[in-house]
Amino acid sequence: MTKNATPKVFAFAIKMEQDGERFYRDLAAQSPDKGVQFILTGLADDEVKHAHILRELEKGASPTLTETSVLSGAKSVFSGMAARKAFAAVGTDQKALYLQALEIERRSRDFYKAQADGTALKPLRDVFLRLCDQENRHMFLLDNMIQFISRPQMWLENAEFNHLEEY
C-alpha cells in the first residue's frame, strides 16, 4: 500500500461501489422496460465486481478486472427499443436520476484517477486505472441513455446505433 491506499481509502471505495450497486438496482426496479432493467442491472453487477476487486487489493492480492459487458448489451437494448418505438420506456421522468448516476460515475472515475496518480506501485496503479476506465465506460453509457431519452429520433438518425461502438 502507499500513503493513499490506506484501509480508509479502500473502505471508502468499497462503500462507494456498494452505494452505486444499490442505486442501480433501485433504478432498475423502477423501470417498466426489461431492456433498461438489463442495462441498469448490468451496471449494478459491475459495481459488485469493483467492490470485490477492491477487497482483493486491500488484502494484497493482484486481482484481474475483467471487461464490462454492459455496453455490448446496451446497444441491442437501444436497437430493440428503437424498433418497438419504445422511447418513453426509458423514462423521461427518470432523466434526473440518470443525470445523478452520471455524476456518481464521474466522482468514482475522478477518485480512481487520483488514487492511480498517488501511487508508485504499478500493480495498484494499473487496477485503479482500469477501474477509472470502467467508470468512464459507465459514464459513456449513461450519457447515451440520457441522449436517447432526450432526443430519441436525433440519437438514432445521427448515430445509426454507432454511439456504443466507440467503446
Query: Can you give the pLDDT of all 167 residues of the chain as single tens digits?
Result: 444 467 888 999 999 999 999 999 999 998 887 888 999 999 999 999 999 999 998 888 888 888 877 877 777 777 777 666 665 555 566 788 889 999 999 999 999 999 999 988 888 899 999 999 999 999 999 988 888 777 755 555 555 445 555 54
> What 8-state DSSP symbol labels residue 160?
T
Per-residue CA distances from 73 to 23, 35, 93, 125 (Å): 20, 9, 23, 29
Q: Which three cell numbers stand for residue 138?
A: 459507465
Question: How far apart are alpha carbons 138 and 2 in whole angstroms?
Answer: 27
- Which conformational region is residue 111 in: left (phi greater than 0), alpha (psi within -120 to 50 degrees), or beta? alpha
What one-letter code names the amino acid at 47? E
Query: pTM of whole model > 0.75?
Result: yes
In the prediction, which pLDDT does 89 show?
A: 53
Q: How many CB atoms lie within 10 A of CB 107?
A: 13
